[in-house]
Amino acid sequence: MGSVYRIGEFAKRVGRSVSTVRRWEAEGRIVARRLPSGQRYFDDSDVRRVLRPGFDAGRRKVVVYCRVSSSGQRSDLASQVAAMQQFCLARGLAVDEWVSEVGGGMDLRREKFLALMDAVDRGEVATLVVAHKDRLARFGFDFLEHVAARNGCEIIVANQESLSPQQELVEDLVAIVHAFSGRLYGLRRYEKELEGADLTVEGGR
């Protein structure tokens, strides 16, 4: 853990009044953490967030992210959005932004996904809602959750297995096998080239 600041110390670090910091808390702009004793505190990540250019006291967003892997799953995407609308209504979540994207779960360079994670990193997102962990990313969800938590963002997973198509999992596994097969072929070819080089050296002695 880095430096820990009580609210008065934190206010001094960011050059604002204690009342302003409390207002930011009330608006959900920043989230105080708690020590095991229950005492509230802020840390260096909170200081960095407030001091970043563009930080303001506006209300942070609630964002729902929906994704399917291919354009042929448009109907699945519409069903996912509808299901998440019902989920958010049941949870009493007022959604500020809906993000829908077509792209593979193993592709972490998806345009809308990257824009969303940039917004999380800037501290603009208070809550991120997804139908299932793999809608955000097939692998590495725990790390993304860690990044979000560092920036005061809670990720809510509806855990709706029906919205996580099994066909996508099969396609992703095939892609992994294909990638490793290519690497294995490359290694074997490299080994043969080395063996050929050794024979050439020995023959030239």
Nearest Cα to 126, choosing from 39, 49, 51, 67? 49
For the domain 61-163, what is the CATH code?
3.40.50.1390
**b/e per residue 130-140 (b: at least 16 CB within 10 A):** bbbbbbbbbee
- Give me the tens of pLDDT residue by residue for the chain, a chain 205 residues long: 568 899 999 988 888 888 888 888 887 778 888 888 888 899 888 888 888 766 664 567 899 999 999 888 888 999 999 999 999 999 888 899 999 999 988 888 999 999 999 988 887 888 999 999 999 998 889 999 999 988 878 899 998 776 666 666 556 565 556 555 656 656 666 566 656 555 555 555 5
Per residue in 72-131, pLDDT tens? 888 899 999 999 999 999 988 889 999 999 998 888 899 999 999 998 888 788 899 999
Q: Report the distance separating Cα 166 and Cα 44, nearest Å.
A: 41
Q: Report the distance separating Cα 201 and Cα 123, nearest Å.
A: 60
* pLDDT score at 50: 83
The residue type of 168 is E
Q: State phi, psi for 74 to the nearest 5 degrees.
A: -55, -40
Nearest Cα to 105, choosing from 180, 158, 169, 162? 169
Per-domain residue ranges of the chain: 4-51, 61-163, 165-205
Question: For the domain with range 4-51, which CATH number is right: 1.10.1660.10, 1.10.10.1400, 3.40.50.11540, 1.10.3720.10?
Answer: 1.10.1660.10
